[in-house]
Structure 1
Amino acid sequence: MSFITDIMKTAEQVFIEFLKENNLSMTPQRKIIVETFLETEGHFSAERLCGLVKGKASEIGQATIYRTLKLLVDSGLAESIEVGDGSALYEHSYGHDHHDHLICVHCNRKIEIYDDAIEKRQEEVASELGFKLTRHRMYLFGICPECAGQES
Structure 2
Amino acid sequence: MVYGDEQDMLVHLGYSNLALTQNRVVDLANASSVPIVGLPNAPLLAVRALAPDSFRVALATDQGSGAVELWQIDATGTAALIGSYPPVPAGYTVQPFFPHRHHALEATGALLQVGEGPMVFQDVIVRREIGGSSVVVYDEANDPLVQIHISGLVTEP
Scaled by the length of structure 1, what TM-score is found?
A: 0.30
Using CA pairs below 8 Å that are at least 6 residues apart, which structure has the higher relative contact order? 1
Scaled by the length of structure 2, what TM-score is found?
A: 0.29
- The structure in which a higher percent of residues are strand is 2
- The structure in which a higher percent of residues are helix is 1
